Structure 1
Amino acid sequence: MKARHISWLALFTALSVVGGMLKVPAPVSSVALDSFPALLAAGLLGAVPGALVGAFGHLISALMGGMPLGPLHALIAAEMAAIMWLFGWLYARGKRFFSLTVFVLLNGLVSPAPFILLMGWPFYVGMVLSLMIASLVNGVIGALLLPRLLPVYERLIGRVRA
């Protein structure tokens, strides 16, 4: 990876930290606007850098929120990495609206599903609304910024990576 790409990766991770400070009211304090920089990274840099920003962004957001779920945040970070990778993969193939829809549904409805086994249905039901709102807001911000940043990124760096 070139130094320019590493710099962009660091920039998006830093933006994810800032987004992690913008919390969405939820039973767990790690629900925040930390995903839209990962969406931007996945759309501009590619699926793998987007996955890295998604995982680190969640961990930093959880750390700033006091790590309420403890080591279970590693599971959430892995889920975020997988969701961002899939988003980046779909986005690179021109399925822009579908990729955002998949992101919102996976992040809002599917990612908290393992916690049904760990913490029960009340936790899942309590989290879904907050996660859906945060996913929708992150997705809308990503959808608004990505088309505007693509030409800038291509002019500065070159072609967008898949």
Structure 2
Amino acid sequence: MTPARAALTCCVLALAATGCGIRPTGVTDGGTAPSGISQGMRIYFASDRGPRGVARPDRTIDQLDDVFKLLFSGPSPAERDEGLTNVLPEVGYRATAHRGHVTVTAPRFGFTSPQDQGTGQLVCTLARAEVLLHGTRPDKVQVTIVGERGRAGPYQCQQFLAP
């Protein structure tokens, strides 16, 4: 072996022995895995795949009726760019709750069908608010809507969400 080749081989072996330069560490704890529902308020807007929730972590609500102001403020410009829209008419909604049963009164609200996106927006947004305000389990919240054509529901949010 020539001296130049021997020197090159030594250099390659030395580099291989040093590895990438990152020293091993012990096991680190990443904390517990996320579980349950996300924190903070979520409101739901219509999309091409059905109602879709968007986070409003900086918004707090003190009563169920507060969600209507959030809904009617509409999606942000970025959310509109993603195809989200509010399809609910502003007709003077009021909401009350008793043990996870939410009743929405909207005298001039007309349902186009029991599964329309406007109904989904109401049901899912109010269900989320009920969870935050009263600690009801999300799968236990039921929403009934009283409109100009009578009563509809009770509904649960998962009925409106795409799998």
TM, length-normalised to structure 1: 0.34
RCO higher in 1 or 2 (8 Å CA, sep ≥ 6)? 1
Task: Look at both structures and tell me which one has the larger radius of gyration over its CA atoms.
Answer: 2
* More helix, by proportion: 1
